[in-house]
Amino acid sequence: MRLILMGPPGAGKGTQARFVADHFGVPAISTGDIFRANVSRGTPLGIEAQRYMDAGEYVPDEVTNKMVRNRIDEDDAKPGFLLDGYPRTLAQVTELDGMIAFTGHRLDAVVVLTVDPEELVQRLIHRAQTDGRADDTEDVIRRRQEVYAEQTAPLIEVYRGRGICIEVDGMGEVDDVTTRIFDALDVVPQS
Ligand code: AMP
């Protein structure tokens, strides 16, 4: 199964990605988590990424694409993967198409979690209090929503045009959202 989990910051991608990946026996690949791990280890990639992350901006495509390409090449991702937080730009969509085509497979589905905007802000404020993520300050939260609307929301139309986009209501309890995602994906033929 080759899946993408999309949705605005605060939609619950990270939480759901783990459940969905386990369900299908594929690794959850979160570009945000990989960047954060590099930031905390102080690697050159982390140093480069941090200034963008702290500002709520996207890390440049060349950097992000190379990182994902390397991760997808690892053995555990051969049977499939679930991408959380990638692609986020049209250039990344094109790059991912190339990566998947190279392996002779196809993208099976793009799950988009929809959550109402006021709920998103509340969730992120709550996460700021509990997880202490560096980019969960009010200004940065707002900027990340804007960047999502400008650069990432248009991707939904692209995948809708390909007929592989599944919109799932991301409101309510975590377990209920997981069930909705499973119900939607269990009917998707796996490549
Ligand atoms: P996330 O944990 O997915 O919210 O990502 C946290 C931050 O990492 C984002 O605000 C970006 O700065 C950076 N990031 C994660 N994924 C990408 C991506 N696909 N393209 C560019 N920047 C990204």
Give yes or no for residue 52 CB within 6 A of ligand 1.
yes
pLDDT at residue number 137: 85
pLDDT at residue number 133: 78
List binding-site positions for AMP: 31, 36, 57-59, 85-88, 92, 133, 144
Q: Which helix (H) or strand (E) covers residue 191, if one does?
A: none
pLDDT at residue number 128: 84
Among 62, 88, 142, which residue has the most ligand 1 atoms within 8 Å of its CB, making it the best to mutate?
88
Give yes or no for residue 148 CB within 6 A of ligand 1.
no
pLDDT at residue number 126: 87
pLDDT at residue number 117: 85
- Choose the catalytic residue: 2, 71, 88, 180: 88
pTM of the model: 0.94
List binding-site positions: 10-15, 31, 36, 57-59, 85-88, 92, 127, 133, 144, 172
Active site residue 88: yes
Of 36, 39, 45, 40, the closest CA to residue 65 belongs to 45
CA–CA distance, 188 with 191 (Å, rounded to integer): 9
- Choose the catalytic residue: 18, 69, 123, 127: 127
pLDDT at residue number 109: 97
- Contact (CB, 8 A) for 13 and 162: no
pLDDT at residue number 163: 96
Give yes or no for residue 38 CB within 6 A of ligand 1.
no
- Choose the catalytic residue: 69, 133, 143, 160: 133
pLDDT at residue number 189: 80
CA–CA distance, 69 with 3 (Å, rounded to integer): 15
pLDDT tens for the 191 residues of the chain, in order: 999 999 999 999 999 999 999 999 999 999 999 999 999 999 999 999 999 999 999 999 999 999 999 999 999 999 999 999 999 999 999 999 999 999 999 999 999 999 998 888 888 888 888 887 788 888 888 899 999 999 999 999 999 999 999 999 999 999 999 999 999 998 888 77
Q: Which letter does DSSP use for residue 89 in this model?
A: S
Give yes or no for residue 53 CB within 6 A of ligand 1.
yes
pLDDT in tens, 79-106: 999 999 999 999 999 999 999 999 999 9
Give yes or no for residue 59 CB within 6 A of ligand 1.
yes
pLDDT at residue number 37: 97
